[in-house]
């Protein structure tokens, strides 16, 4: 999956200059042609020289438009995002600790099952895998920075408890997890939640992860029927989790019991991919310079005496 973004999207407003330029070019051409027809057989001259006047102007116009377009794209910081195979792995485990995670549709409850699967994941992660841990509800907390020490990681997971802070803020946890992965090579977040997002914007979370080349795998913890909590029935809401993983080139997993949770972790670590951003600004600028040189050459040689 390939996507694009712009570091400075405000400069895309200059694209409105292209239709203005085309209009001016056409008006100027018509005026010049009318003037030329007063003094000579315009079409006869064109046949003698073996150049079609209309074709000539289409070529010059097209080159000019490409020069403008490529220059604007370069100025805007045109970036291509794609996914490639990674030789190393760095993950942040983001575990939802909101009140809905006390639901008992997975034994002993959603949070307990998520922690057990996460601990098993750490034990079975390949040598050299670097892991960090974040818990989140209405706020996100760093439980453990990224490390290759499995003991520290397991200790951080074991200490996670249900939060007293209300809400589930998807945007803050993605920002926190992404910042922890800033200096890592292969960047991925494995997010476990029942999907009941009520704070923050999924769109903002996707943008932050994508801009920083972080893949987000999401694991939906719970069942469609739901489970009992201290405040009532809590059902699984997977739409936001699906959107988050899909738009960051990650994978979505549904976990309705502890076995599916463990399988989801195992499948996530097999996705040895990383998202990379390729800044094409330099190449677009070089292309615009070369096209400008070609246009200048044509105007001063083959099309020199034609309108």
Residues 201, 292 within the same domain: no
Strands 227-229 and 232-234: what pairing?
Answer: antiparallel
Task: Indicate whether 45 and 192 sit together in one domain.
Answer: no
Under a CB-based contact definition with an 8 Å cutoff, are residues 98 and 196 in contact?
yes
Are 229 and 287 in a shared domain? no
Which pTM does this prediction carry? 0.62
Same domain assignment for residues 68 and 135: no
Least confident of 49-58, 127-136, 142-151, 208-217: 49-58
Residues 141 and 224 reside in one and the same domain: yes
For residue 305, being part of any structural domain is answered with no
**123 and 191 within one domain:** yes
Residue 181's CB is within 10 A of a number of other CB atoms, namely 23
Asked if residue 224 and residue 122 are part of one domain, the reply reads yes
Answer yes or no: do 258 and 294 share one domain: no
Residue 117 within a domain: yes
Structural domain range at position 167: 84-276
Q: What is the pLDDT of residues 14-44, one digit of tens each?
A: 998 889 888 887 777 677 666 555 555 555 5
Helices (H), the chain: 17-37, 42-49, 53-75, 110-124, 150-158, 170-180, 202-211, 239-247, 258-270, 281-300
Determine, yes or no, domain membership for 100: yes
Structure confidence by residue, pLDDT tens digits, 41-67: 555 555 544 444 445 678 888 888 899
- Do both 61 and 154 map to the same domain? no
The CATH number of residue 117's host domain is 3.40.50.410
Residue 36: inside a domain: yes
Average pLDDT over residues 165-188: 88
Let me know: does 102 contact 64? Beta carbons within 8 Å.
Answer: no
**131: alpha, beta or left, given left = phi > 0 and alpha = psi -120 to 50?**
beta
Model confidence band, residue 174 (pLDDT cutoffs 50, 70, 90): very high
Number of domain units in the chain: 2
Whether 307 is covered by a domain: the verdict is no
pLDDT higher at 1 or 240: 240
Q: Say whether both 240 and 292 belong to one domain.
A: no
**Quick one: residue 29, left, alpha or beta (phi over 0 = left, psi -120 to 50 = alpha)?**
alpha
pLDDT interval class at 290 (50, 70, 90): very high
């Amino acid at each position: 999956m390939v996507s694009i973004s712009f570091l400075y999207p405000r400069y895309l407003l200059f694209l409105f200059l292209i239709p203005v330029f085309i209009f001016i070019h056409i008006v100027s051409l018509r005026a010049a042609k009318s003037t030329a027809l007063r003094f000579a057989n315009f079409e006869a001259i064109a046949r003698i020289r073996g150049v079609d006047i209309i074709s000539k102007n289409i070529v010059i116009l097209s080159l000019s438009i490409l020069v403008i377009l490529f220059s604007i794209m370069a100025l805007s910081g045109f970036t291509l995002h794609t996914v490639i195979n990674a030789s190393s792995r760095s993950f942040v485990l983001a575990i939802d600790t909101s009140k809905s995670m006390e639901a008992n549709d997975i034994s002993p409850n959603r949070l307990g099952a998520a922690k057990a699967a996460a601990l098993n994941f750490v034990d079975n992660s390949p040598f050299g895998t670097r892991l960090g841990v974040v818990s989140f509800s209405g706020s996100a907390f760093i439980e453990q920075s990224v490390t290759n020490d499995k003991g520290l990681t397991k200790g951080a997971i074991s200490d996670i408890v249900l939060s007293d802070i209300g809400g589930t803020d998807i945007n803050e946890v993605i920002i926190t997890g992404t910042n922890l992965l800033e200096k890592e090579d292969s960047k991925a977040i494995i997010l476990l939640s029942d999907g009941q997002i009520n704070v923050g914007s999924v769109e903002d979370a996707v943008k932050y992860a994508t801009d920083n080349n972080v893949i987000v795998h999401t694991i939906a913890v719970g069942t469609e029927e739901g489970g009992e909590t201290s405040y009532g029935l809590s059902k699984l809401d997977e739409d936001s989790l699906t959107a988050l993983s899909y738009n960051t080139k990650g994978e979505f997993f549904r976990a309705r019991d502890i076995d599916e949770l463990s399988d989801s972790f195992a499948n996530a670590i097999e996705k040895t991919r990383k998202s990379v951003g390729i800044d094409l600004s330099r190449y677009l600028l070089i292309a615009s310079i070369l096209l400008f040189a070609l246009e200048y050459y044509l105007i001063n040689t083959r099309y020199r005496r034609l309108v």
